[in-house]
Structure 1
């Protein structure tokens, strides 16, 4: 039985890892780019003692997805840099709103005072949830903004939920599905009539972390137990997060998994005996494909034989994001923390700023990552400004928001085209229909990755594992 994986990002490499573990060889991973890792990219400036990350930089060790990633990290023997819950980067998260930097509450006490940009104590929003009835008819889905406004009020929707969605998927909370991205909260309202009420009932019942038992037959990973015991909020990897895909490629290569770079699949043809992939004008027959490509890249590969499936895949929209990495000499931040988010109601071109040098040691430098664009990319960058214009724009807003007078000594500008899928209202049904189509037509194709199962590192790795474990290869 021959299996191929399309895509050498984290989800594709993870699919290769779990396929090897479950079925052994033969196995080939095809990646169109000349490198593995997808959007995970680290630039380590050894001479200057800092790292630029143009993609994610930290991983959360939470729940089944977090434990699963830690099991993988443990197997690969990677060096971890934990950030505990007491660390300033875990405690301090900020908003830039109404012309000022606002600290978000980091303890229950913070619910009772009036903290900008909010005009009343946050406990009142919780009371609103307690007295607000759930919708009369059972909703299949709605936008996160609509859900938050209905349950907690417009101020929470504008200044808490909307910027959070910018941070998660660079998206507009008025379009993003609450059922997909915050399914737990949505189900609590639908089942118990309120979010807070549902949370209290679930805690009272002592609901366990579902799925952990079946996933870890040998007991939960040691690193996960350590993370729980030491109260990690998040962690990074020594040398930057790109160490993870690089090490995975090395691990797979040492076990005779063929990772082919600069090999783009141009077409898929399904037949009774499997599937033929067109790679570099050659037909490669395999029995099954695990595809981790973005939905919009898979769509043209199946369009000739399965136009309906192609159309469904194209119904998943993607956004472009601009990432600007900056290094300043010395420690210039007046307030330490993980970083800040900018609510869309502020109508600024930046989504947020991550304080990298607060999270990890950066050799005495101030290192920041500015994120821009996303859902609003065309509004701010539709005329395709130069890298210098983008850098100047990012520098201007960083200086204004953070009170930094210096210009960056070193910088990088990355425009990441169609990098984050948007989980618009109805996304769960959309994904279910796509997978139902594969099952109905008995296509030897499994789909994993951010488009289908969540945008985070933990999500895409667990997505690969679950798709592989669902396979019944002869």
Structure 2
């Protein structure tokens, strides 16, 4: 372990910050240089804090505590001394129990619990439980290019694919389930039951989350507080240098490292633009990584204006191709409302594929969607917006890592492009990369 001298972390999002954090823990004597091209750290964890105390999330607004990756993040929150800042939402909360679909011009509550799966619940025409049970016995398709829509249609039903899966892919990935390829091995249901193989011992905060049955959590000043605390902790360590507005223009391999660096943690498809010609196969794979941009429009209305209570609603592409979904922020985190007045905060996410679409058009589209979907006629009193790269995904992460391993390249791939889209996944990706690095040295 003493051989690890200098380490470069390229990218100061939550994945890069997590990688630097776990590196510092495993190798306190190593010198870590974190380079971020933008002017701020934190990536898509971005909280717009207004002077009146309201918080609008421009990226993820809550974190789930479940599973090994969820426990890992809560343990990190404890390490950073943020326990008192945590705002939990339990499974008994109305926002956890009620999620909606906007189909055929109206809102429908999604089936929940065993009773909801046993009976026919509109907009579905038959119970869902028999479909879930049947799926465990459907044989795997031998084709490796089957779309997610075709996969769900074959293993469950075309109705489930057209409504639920279409809505979910649009709401989470801003993607088209008819173009996304499924490479699942075996049963989806069994995979959900068995869960991931990784395990993390729960600390006191994670134990509290299990005991109180948290469904999700945030922080009092928004989720941006997490990367802010990570950055401050790294700066205080004295062994990590954080540089923003630092653009990497090239990486040339020299011996066991890259120029003067011995190991590089890479978090972005932009890596392909700076790698040397000797890594041409890896560059080709990186160029296949897809990404999408989404406009996040946060709206605030006076008083309580929602006709339903819940987390929010999604909608299939057949309903409104210009809107991905609406989140009812005030329902699950009212602590982020301004303490000066009663209000309703909503977030509308819209795709930004069209060129030349400006701020006024995006806000108008969001306001119009709220009026149509929720019957809210009044104009919002305030709006905040941001265009973000919602998710980058790769179907070739194993091939990339295989190439890196075969060439003994001092590189690790970290982030949502390779190991999962959630905040928990990205943080755990940084931890796993560090553990593999030290495992390779032993």
TM normalised by structure 1 equals 0.86
Distance 1:30 1:168 in 2: 28
Does residue 453 of the first structure (1) align with residue 419 of the second (2)?
yes
Q: Does 1:422 align with 2:393?
A: yes
5+ residue gaps in structure 2?
none
Partner of residue 387, structure 1: 359
Matched, 1:369 2:347: yes
Q: How many residues align?
A: 427
Q: Following TM superposition, where does structure 1 have runs of at least 4 consecutive aligned residues deviating by more than 6 angstroms?
A: none
- Counterpart selection for 1:271 from 246, 250, 254: 254
Q: Which residue of structure 2 lines up, in the alignment, with residue 286 of structure 1?
A: 261
1:86 is aligned to 2:86: no
| Other-structure match for 2:180 | 176
| CA–CA distance in structure 2, aligned partners of residues 334 and 208 of structure 1 | 36
Pair 1:43 & 2:12 matched: no
Match of 2:34 in 1: 29
2:186 alignment partner in structure 1: 187
User: Per-residue displacement from partner, 1:325-349 (whole Å, max 9, x unpaired)?
Assistant: 1111111111011100011222431
Match for residue 301 of structure 2?
Answer: 328
| Whole-angstrom distance in 2 between the partners of 1:241 and 1:50 | 13
Distance of 1:96 and 1:223 partners within structure 2: 36
Q: Please tell me whether the aligned partners of residues 28 and 259 of structure 1 are also in contact (alpha carbons under 8 angstroms).
A: yes
After superposition, give the CA deviation of every residue in 1:202-230 in whole Å (9 maximum; x if it has no partner). Answer: 97xxx686321xx44xxx21111111111
1:403 aligns with 2:381: no
Q: Please report how far the alpha carbon of residue 167 of structure 1 lies from its aligned counterpart in structure 2 after TM superposition.
A: 2.4
Conserved 8 A contact 2:9-2:35 = yes
Deviates more, 1:100-109 or 1:232-241: 100-109
Change in CA separation of 1:224 and 1:177 when aligned onto 2, cut-off 3 Å: farther
User: 1:59: how far off?
Assistant: 0.4
Give the RMSD, CA atoms, in angstroms. Answer: 2.0
Correspondence for 1:17 among 15, 21, 30: 21
Q: 1:337 aligns with which of 289, 310, 322?
A: 310
Deviation at 1:399, TM superposition (A): 1.0
1:150 aligns with 2:154: yes
The answer (yes or no) to whether the contact 1:125–1:156 under 8 Å persists in 2 is no
Instruction: Quote the residue 1:282 is aligned against.
Output: none
1:51-107 per-position Cα deviation (integer Å, ceiling 9, x unaligned): 111100100011111011111011111111000000011001001110101110122
> Take 1:357 and 1:99, find their aligned partners in 2: how far apart are those partners?
24
Offset at residue 134 of structure 1 (A) = 1.4
**Superposed displacement of residue 273, structure 1:** 4.0
Match of 1:116 in 2: 122
The equivalent residue for 1:247 is: 229
Say whether 1:440 aligns with 2:439. Answer: no
Structure 1 residue runs of 5 or longer lacking an equivalent are 190-194, 277-284
Contact 2:252 2:275 in 1 (8 A): yes
In the alignment, the residues of structure 1 paired with residue 100 and residue 203 of structure 2 have an alpha-carbon distance, to the nearest angstrom, of 33
Deviations along 1:175-223, one digit per CA (max 9) or x if unpaired, are 33433xxx5xx4236xxxxx4xx47xx97xxx686321xx44xxx2111
In 1, distance between residues paired with 2:276 and 2:314?
39
Choose which of 245, 250, 262 in structure 1 pairs with 2:245.
Answer: 262
Deviation at 1:148, TM superposition (A): 1.2
Q: Secondary structure at the match of 1:324?
A: strand
